[in-house]
Amino acid sequence: MSLDFVQTIPSDQISSLLRKVSYGLVTTCVLGAAVYIGYRVAAPDKYSIKQHRHPELNDQIEKVVASLKITDEQLQHIMRTLEEEMSAGLSPATHKQASVKMFPSYVRHISKGTEVGQVLALDLGGTNFRILLIKLRGNSKIDLTSKIFVVPQSVMIGDGRHLFRHLVECLSDFMKRETLLHSGITYPLGFTFSFPCKQESLSSARLTSWTKGFSCAGVVNEDVVKLLQDAIDEKGINVKCAALVNDTVGTLMACAYKDPSTAIGLILGTGTNACYIESLDRVGTWDGDYNEPKQVIINMEWGAFGDNGCLHHIRTKYDEEVDLSSINPGNQTFEKMISGMYMGEIVRLIILDLLQQELLFLGHRDTYGDYKTPLYNRGGFYTKFVSIVETDEGIKFSNTRRVLEDIGIRNPTFDDCVIVQHICRQVSKRAARLAGAGLAVLINRMEKPNITIGVDGSLYRYHPRFKRNMERFYADGSICLDILQRNWSPTYDVCAILTSIRSLLNDPNPNSPANNEAAKLFLENRRLYESKVRKLVEESIMADQITNDLKLIDDNDDEKKKSIDKSSSSSTSNNNDNNNNNNNNNNQEAQATAASASSSSNP
């Protein structure tokens, strides 16, 4: 579908359509590339900080919050810097020193859904991990059984051998439940390992550093596939680890199974990372063959962007404190400003700072100064609290009050609730802007007319405003210039189309880089303009099945989570990807890679 024109439709209808389409795309792990390019995230908050407070107190609070705001010029500088860091990571001369490592994944082919067989998958990406039995039926059909297991804190920070033995014990229990043990069949296993690795082949990867709270000894610089296989052999179960895929790569592959134009994978969860399809002639570190297809998925490991100090100018004192108190100071700088593992802690530090300055919870500094209060405990303000606070609409602030009570704040005032929500929103907006700027760099680099982004992760799924913040375009096109000026918004997906409509409504200017042709028609023949895009929108909306699902989530946050969990399971059961479906000699690797892609669709 070619998009040459857009229509003027009421903004409330656009907003409704965006919500519907965006939810539908999440269930298939697809979000349009253009959604993430420019962001009008500086929209005014619904409630200003005034009420019963002295003006000078409001000014002091705004000075604190202002440190979180990133200007358009700063974003553009960040984008240029990221591009430079990517080039350094891809060059053999500078790769070792580069903060953004740009690891080749050795995944070059995308599945067509023709694989058949029975495979296992193990998805390790955080404090929970999943084991799955995936039956590949061919014709893009999959039957899936899975179970979630926990990684105890003692295992996360203990000896590496204990971690892999724990994984294999759980794998053995799962296989016993599914009557797979002692069957006489050796099952191929796809390993989704969501930590920075230098991949050496499809079935070999060395851990470069731990993230997400893990610090197991004896694993860094070791081949994690070998460590897992050694534990499997020690246990004596009939499994062969045939492929390792990073969760971000798996998300791209799972999404491409549904939409061949997918070229970027994004994770926004406990951690954050991105991958994209790169031409081999631009990968100086490539050590494989140059046969067709002359491309490879690059695992960026962009969470480490800024570890060399290039993002120091946008870091706040709260970011620095989060970093210093983490288990990996000086590492994962970009991730610590974006991901779910750290967002709640940033909010906690700001709240605590305002309390100590007597700018928040006025008159109660001594009351809440008890170090037994969760507010004083590191990690005491969960990122899920940020999501809950941001679901509040109106003036009752029932969710915000509940969260504050959970951290030991009793009977907060209306002003207190307004300020806490304001802090949460600013921290979230900054994260969305930074993630969006990174995606803009990737899309510019690939110069493809049609791009879809596969996106997943708990932050993206459950935060009520994160998607919305990433869907906002700058009205002046200052960030989306490099993307949209290329024939203006080629068909990425329906959500991107509708977002572009919103962008044009903000600036229907024939000289706007957002859309020269459509803007000109907007001024010259409004009726034809509206007719063309009305038809476009009607043809594009995937309304029926999505609308039914949306009824479950419009008004109730708990129901929303249940609905998303259900759709996530459905999405997982329909994803089957493989990086080498044309090579019959590597069938086990192909099946295991498909399993890894399926397992990564809900990190």
Structure token pair of residue 514: 């957002």
Structure token pair of residue 236: 């004596």
CB atoms within 10 A of CB 358: 13
Residue from 99, 194, 326, 596 carrying the catalytic annotation: 194
Q: Tell me the CA distances in angstroms from 381 to 386, 431, 432, one per residue in order.
A: 8, 17, 20
Q: CB burial class (10 A; 0-12, 13-18, 19+) of residue 561? A: middle
Judge whether 406 counts as a catalytic residue: no
Amino acid identity for residue 212 in this structure? K
CA 422, CA 350: separation in Å to the nearest integer? 11
Say which residue the tokens 């890679």 belong to.
Answer: 593
Structure token pair of residue 302: 């962009």
163 and 219 in contact (C-beta within 8 Å)?
Answer: yes
Q: What is the DSSP string of 127-187?
A: SEEEEEEEEEEETTEEEEEEEEEE--HHHHTSBHHHHHHHHHHHHHHHHHHTT-TTSS-PE
Q: Which of 458, 31, 27, 83 is nearest to 272 (CA)?
A: 458
Say which residue the tokens 């991730």 belong to.
Answer: 335
Judge whether 130 counts as a catalytic residue: yes
CB atoms within 10 A of CB 324: 9
Q: Is 200 helix (H, G, I), strand (E, B) or coil?
A: strand
300 and 274 in contact (C-beta within 8 Å)?
Answer: yes
The b-or-e profile of 570-581 (16+ CB within 10 A means b, else e) is ebbbbbbbbbbb
Tally DSSP H helices, then E strands, for the chain: 22, 13
118 and 187 in contact (C-beta within 8 Å)?
Answer: yes
| Length reported for the chain | 603
Q: Which of 434, 441, 519 is nearest to 475 (CA)?
A: 519
Q: At what angle do helices 72-90 and 414-446 cross, to 10 degrees?
A: 50
Structure token pair of residue 87: 């080039």
CA 577, CA 592: separation in Å to the nearest integer? 9
Judge whether 465 counts as a catalytic residue: no
Q: Is 69 helix (H, G, I), strand (E, B) or coil?
A: coil
The b-or-e profile of 434-461 (16+ CB within 10 A means b, else e) is bbbbbbbbbbebeeeebbbbbbbbbbbb
Residue from 247, 307, 319, 323 carrying the catalytic annotation: 247
Residues annotated as catalytic are: 130, 194, 247
